[in-house]
Chain A
């Protein structure tokens, strides 16, 4: 009976230590770095909205990037879309624009892209896998990344002025 009792006590101890370990892991992972100014851009590799390819951040390191998170149900995203598209055309070849459609219906997003004539690549993240790792708080959110892959500017909410967008892009070019 005694070895059985010791085994049961060791089992209970292992269970408690295991649960404690899980708690520590959870707390540590909650504090994991998110995308913010001065930090390296987190990598992602997502399917395109059209489903015929992939959009990977790693493929564009070495070039300045503008990464814009949006969704069709976000009203400010609709106002911002033409501004971003115009900028993508103006900075063509010098800056890579990437859109990330997040927590959205794929069909709605395709219509949105067609309606606003968006030509830059759009990654589709329907389940919102990037939401927490990138520390997204709401839509739209835009990250500006320099050639070295460091985030140099971050806009929470709508970019409403072209000058504001140009100023952030200049930081990626310098």
Chain B
């Protein structure tokens, strides 16, 4: 049952991710790109450079570019600072992995401490003759 559910989920998620990469919408790209002068996402900004970037995104979508291609072109012009979220590759992958590692590490420490706290009173009980 679980395998079937996982398969169904995978089949539902993968094609939509593929469609988003191949045929990105203006709205999703505006939410994933940052205006270099005001540091907010394009959909939240009406700064002149943000308007120019929106126009650029519109023209590249119309030209049939994939989402990653459009982002790469903007990164080439303005640097990685235009990406609202770090890339999921290379050194930037650390930004995604470290919080998970931190959470898991924290959970492990809490689990060990909880185990020790629950065990201690029992260990310290005086032995009854």
Contacts and interface: CB of A to CB of B under 8 A. Distances in A.
B36 A105 contact: no
A106 interface: yes
Contact of A126 (B48, B52, B56, B77): B77
B77 A71 contact: no
Contacts of B37: 103, 128
A127 B52 contact: no
A102 B62 CA distance: 27
A12 B77 CA distance: 42
B93 interface: no
B96 interface: no
Contacts of A126: 76-79
A108 interface: yes
Contact of B52 (A75, A105, A106, A129): A105
A80 interface: no
Given A105-B77, A106-B77, A128 B36 contact: yes
Nearest to B35: A103
A144 to B, nearest CB: 24
Contacts of B76: 126
Interface in B40-64: 48-49, 51-52, 56
Secondary structure type dominating chain A contacts: loop
A73 B49 contact: yes
Nearest to B74: A105
A72 B36 CA distance: 14
Interface string B71-111: 00000111101000000000000000000000000000000
Nearest to A74: B48
A94 B48 CA distance: 35
A129 B36 CA distance: 11
Nearest to A73: B48
A50 to B, nearest CB: 15
A72 B81 CA distance: 20
Nearest to B52: A73
Contacts of A103: 36-37, 49, 78
B49 A127 contact: no
Interface of A: 71-75, 103-106, 108, 126-129
14 contacts: A73-B48, A73-B49, A73-B51, A103-B78, A104-B77, A105-B56, A106-B77, A108-B52, A126-B79, A127-B79, A128-B36, A128-B37, A128-B78, A128-B81
Interface of B: 36-37, 48-49, 51-52, 56, 76-79, 81
